[in-house]
Every structure is written in structure tokens, then in C-alpha cells.
Amino acid sequence: MNGPEPKVARRKLLLSPGLVGAVLAGHSAVGLALAALIYLVCLSGSLAVFAQELQRWEQPAGPVLESVAPRAVDEGFNAIRAKAPTLAKKTVSIELPSAAVPRLTLSAGGDEGVGGEKWLADAAGRPAARIRRPTSDFIVALHTGLLLPEGIGRTLVGLIGIALLALLLSGVLAHPRMIKDAFTLRRGGSWRLQQADLHNRLGTWGLPFYLTVTLTGVFLGLFFVIFASLAATAYKGDLRHAFSDMGFEGERPQQTAAAVPSMSAMIEVVRAKAPEASIRSVSIERAGTSGQKVNVTVHRPGQLSTYERYVFDTSGRMVDSPKATGETISRQILFALQPLHFGWFGGIVVKAAYGLLGLALCVMTSSGVTIWLARRRDKGRPAPMWERIWTATIWGQPVALALAAAVPVLWRSETAAAMGWAAGAASAFALACLYRNDRALALTLRLLTAVLLVALAVTHGVVWSRQMEDSAGWIVDAVLIVGAAVLAAPLSKRAAARPS
Amino acid sequence: MSMSLGSVIGIAAVLLTFSLSGLLAVFLSAERRADRTKPARVAEPDSRPRSRWRGWARGMTAFFLAMFAALAVGAAFAGLPVGAPADRVSIGSLIVPFLWAALVIWALADRKILRPVIGMVGALAVSSAAIAWGLLA
């Protein structure tokens, strides 16, 4: 018996072609069934990373502030309470200026940023302009719930996340040469081989990022399904206790009327306790009742969680603080999910990395289906109609999203972004019926997106030129033009290659 | 010292740099080939007998049974009398998606559909018994 043979035999047993083929069959089944939805969630998610920048671009007018005095919070609270007295009874939130969003925003009654009354305020806390951000709200709604009703959409996106996680895990199992081929990218050979190489290399190198965003996304989407199932056992059915342990609080009955405590005094207390932390927001629940509660949320430099909070009761007494509760691992995990999922923890550099790797996940999703279509063509069973439909799905979305951003610039309606998106998606599928060649269709849609992006940047610049107080407006316009140039690059290559 | 997962920022930054620099290296070292006729050597999915009932059985197993089995195992884990309940719920909540995804793949990949069905029903039964024992104890 010689040495090396058993090693070879053991390796063959671990990753037998039969196992690889079986896992690949499962991988293909999940991918083909859900690729379009996965792509839509990933593409909108890549843009949702820049939601704060998009909000600033959408409304570049209004006061731009570096910081405000604590008394501006009290003034802002009184002003938003006067504007929306009924909504303010539920909750009022005042977001303080930060490097990412240099605005003082007042909101009443909103639930996770949706609905309610929202205003930009000046340095004294006086409302200056009603907040209007249809495009960024639309993109976030598309990503988190595919425009479906809140509970249904969020759960569906969570289930799509499970499918994506299954694809990532099966992709690793179905690729036994993952390490050996890590740097192999062949261009110019068979189309299927090119797409397979692209799919596998993007999958290999982006895997840590994909696993992070998918796992956190599943948890955010299926939070109530998973959390309630596990908490019911851990807390023996006492879900109220479970939510309380996690830092949430159930509804309490309205109590007797009470004066609203000074929030500026609470800010001073928090500043004294945590001088290195920056105060992000102040919110008050059940304002004007004896059960009212004020949360002062802070962010410490270098920390992932953006949800460290100090809680004050109706008399202005501090009843909860990060050090008093001793931040359990459960709260740390819970409050790190959103920054980790959206890349909101390291400034614009981390956001840019998230955006690029998010687009890599979109390309990987696209190439997965393209491999299947190319395999059919190689075997003499081409599916030209499906090739065009898939091309329209992939390249139609940039058109649709560009229109979702463009239409609200000119048409101030609540539904403008959704109408623009629907029109763009429908146009792409209509073009798929007119074209015979999927590559020509892809090129047309790319160029259409490029033209729309340039038109969007120019229109936005013209519409807001006299009121562009936030420089983010100009920067995003410039990024849109650079994006258009990247999308139009194939046309210039074709023109250069054409004989004179 | 604050305990708000500060070190995770460093780990995340390292992983992002790893991914982007790896992809950059791959694209910069891409190999150009002129031959478009050579057949591609790419792994093929398993060819297996197809029928409507098999498709439905696999779909139902992958969707419903995998979900219930993963949640039941997660709930049984959360019921273990070790550590704080909130920590067990949080850690269990991170395990469930991986387990759920793995079961989906098992249901869709295994040539014999009965194997994943038996495995998941077994996991569901054992976990349910553990949950019931924990709740009644």
C-alpha cells in the first residue's frame, strides 16, 4: 500500500461528482425559481445603502446644520406638537444633525420612518420645510417589502433571504475547486464558461459580505417569526418579558395628563455621562401623559450599534442607560443588525464598498440564470424568449429605477416614484417583445438608462440650482453622470471597433 | 470599556477589503482566450427523474417542512437551561436561518425525497419533545 492513494480516495469521497451534481441541481432549482426577486431585492438594497445621501439629494434646500443647541430640541418638540397634535400623542422624534445627515428633522407619529408628519427645522428648532423624499422612501420600500403591505412584504423578503442563503451555501458545496480556481477568470472563450467563471469568482470573493447581508436581512425580515418562535420557549410563553429584555416595550394604557419634561436638560445629563458620544436623536413616547418616556439615543465613536440609549421618565429621572443595563450580548446583536445590513457604520467608504459588493451580488444573480440559458443553447435547446425576458428583467430595472427617481423631480405626487418605476419596467418588457437579439436589447436598455441618468442629473440641477443649500445635491448629480458614462461605455467601444 | 460590538467594525472592514481586493486581483489578471469553439468544462447539475408530484413534494418539503424543522430546533435550543434567555434567543435566531437554508438545499438536492422528509420530521419530533419537556419542567 502506498501513501498518496488513500488521500486521493478520501478527497473523492468528500466531494464526489454525484454530490456536487445533486447540490447543483438544488442550487439551480432555487436560483431559477427566485432569481428575479433576489435580483430586485439586491439591486434596490445596493441603492438603499445610500438612502441618506439620496434623501439629501432629493431635498437639497432647507437649513444645513453641523450642530444645534439643546434648547432647539425643546423648541422643535413644541413646534411639531403644534403642527400635528394628534400624531404627537403617539411619538415625536427629533433627529439631530450628523456628518451623514446635516439636518435637524422633526417627526410625529411616524413608524420606522414611514408615514406621519415630518419637517426640516432651522438651528432654533423652527420648522422650515416639510420633508419630501419619495425616491429614497420608494427604494427602501422596494428593498424591505417589494412594495407589498408591511407585514407580508417584509416576510416575503425574509423568505427570499433564506433562498439566497441556501444558494450561497449550496454554491460553496457545488464548487469543490473554489480555492484552486480563486484567481481564474477566462474571457473570450465560450459564453457559458465566461459566465460560469464570473459567477464563481464573484461568489468566492464576495462570500463573507453576501453571508453578512443575507443573514442580517433574514433576521430583519423574519424577526417576528423567528424571535417569537424562540422567545416563546425561552420565556415559557411570556413574550412581553422577552420584548422587554430586548429593549422593546409593549403598549401601555394612556395615563393622566402631565407636563412634558425639559429634553434639553436630559441632553445635558447625557453629555455629562458620555462626553465622547454624539447624540443622534431624542424621542418621546406618549407625550403629555404620566406614562411618557424620553429616549436619548447616542453613538459612541468606533461602535457598531447606533442604538445606545438613555431613558428618562415623566419626572426627568434617568431610568435606563447602557452602563446600568450592562449591554447584554442579545442587545448588542440586535442593535448591530441594521448597521451591518446597510453598511451604516463606517462613513461613505464603507457605504461605497457595500454598494460595489451589492452590485457584484446582482451580477452573480444575473449570471446564474445566464449560465442556465447558455447551457440550454449549448445543448441545442435554446430559449430565445426567456433570454430576452431575462435581459429585460436585468437591464429593465436600472431604467425603472432611473425613472422612479426622475418622475418625482418634475411631478410632485406621492405615487410618482412608483409610477415611474412601473412605467420603466413595463417599457423594458415591451422592448423585449420587439427585439430578436437579447444582446442588442441589453445594449439598448443600458443606453436608455445612461440617457435617463444624464437627463435626471441635468433636470435636478436646473430645478434646484437656486436653492441647492446641501452640496450632496451636486455630488449625487455628478455621480449619476459618472454612472451614465460607465453604462454607455460599450457603445463607445463599438464605435471605436467599427471600420471607417 | 464599552461593549457595543466595537471590534466588529474592524472585522467588517477587513472582510470588505478582502472581498474588494480579491475581486480587483481577479479582474486585473483575467485571461483572454480567442478560441470560442472549445466546449466548456463546467460542472453539470444532476439529471434526475422528473414528475409533477415529485416537484410538489420537494417544494412542500423545502418550504414548509424545512421552516418548521429549523424553527423547532431553534426553539429547542432557546429552551436549554444554559445562560440568559435573551442570549439564547439571539444566538438561536442566528442559527435558525443557516439551518433553514441547509434544510432547503437538502430537500431539493437529495435524489431520494424520502430521506430529507424523514430527517426533518425526526428533527421536528425530537425538538418538539424537548420544547414540551422544557415548558412542562
pLDDT digits (tens, 9 = 90+) for B11-70: 888 999 999 999 999 999 888 776 555 555 667 777 776 777 888 889 899 999 999 999
B89 to chain A, any CB pair closer than 8 A? The answer is yes
Give per-residue pLDDT as tens, A452-469.
999 999 999 999 999 999
Give per-residue pLDDT as tens, A92-107.
999 999 989 999 999 9
A200 to chain B, any CB pair closer than 8 A? The answer is no
A29 to chain B, any CB pair closer than 8 A? The answer is yes
* A108: DSSP letter: E
Grid cell locating B4: 457595543
B3 located within any domain: no
The one-letter amino acid at A454 = V
pLDDT in the model for residue A240: 85
Which candidate from B34, B105, B131 shows the least CB-CB separation from A26?
B105
B78, A230 Cβ separation under 8 angstroms:
yes
- Regarding an ipTM greater than 0.85, the answer is yes
Q: In chain A, where are the structural domains located?
A: 17-55+138-217+347-497
A313, A255 Cβ separation under 8 angstroms:
no
pLDDT in the model for residue A360: 97
* A146: DSSP letter: T
B44 located within any domain: no
**CB contacts < 8 Å between A and B, how many?**
255
pLDDT in the model for residue B1: 36
B113 located within any domain: yes
A21, B44 Cβ separation under 8 angstroms:
yes
B95 to chain A, any CB pair closer than 8 A? The answer is no
A346 to chain B, any CB pair closer than 8 A? The answer is yes
H or E segment at A310? strand A308-312
B61 located within any domain: no
Q: Which residue has the cell 413616547?
A: A285
Subunit contact A233:B131, Cβ cutoff 8 A: yes
Chain A residue with CA closest to B101: the answer is A166
A303, B10 Cβ separation under 8 angstroms:
no
A76, A482 Cβ separation under 8 angstroms:
no
Of A24-33, A293-302, A365-374, A453-462, the poorest mean pLDDT is in: A293-302
Q: Identify the CA nearest to A354 among candidates A477, A226, A217.
A: A217
Round the average pLDDT of chain A to a whole number and report it.
Answer: 89
Q: Which residue has the cell 445562560?
A: B83
Q: What sign results for the dihedral spanned by CA atoms A199, A204, A207, A209? A: negative
H or E segment at A135? helix A134-145
Q: B4 contacts in A (CB within 8 Å)? A: 300, 303-305, 308, 322, 327, 332, 335-336
- How many structural domains compose chain B? 1
Which candidate from A24, A328, A360 shows the least CB-CB separation from B46?
A24
> Quick one: B39 exposed, middle or buried, by C-beta within 10 A (0-12, 13-18, 19+)?
exposed
Structural domain including B118 reads 69-137
What is the average per-residue pLDDT within A381-390? 95
Q: Which B positions 26-45 lie with beta carbon below 8 A of chain A?
A: 26-27, 29-36, 38-45
Q: Is A308 helix (H, G, I), strand (E, B) or coil?
A: strand
Chain A residue with CA closest to B55: the answer is A29
Q: Which residue has the cell 413574550?
A: A239
Q: Identify the CA nearest to A145 among candidates A44, A46, A34, A229.
A: A44
C-alpha torsion A214→A220→A222→A227, nearest 10:
120
Chain A residue with CA closest to B40: the answer is A193
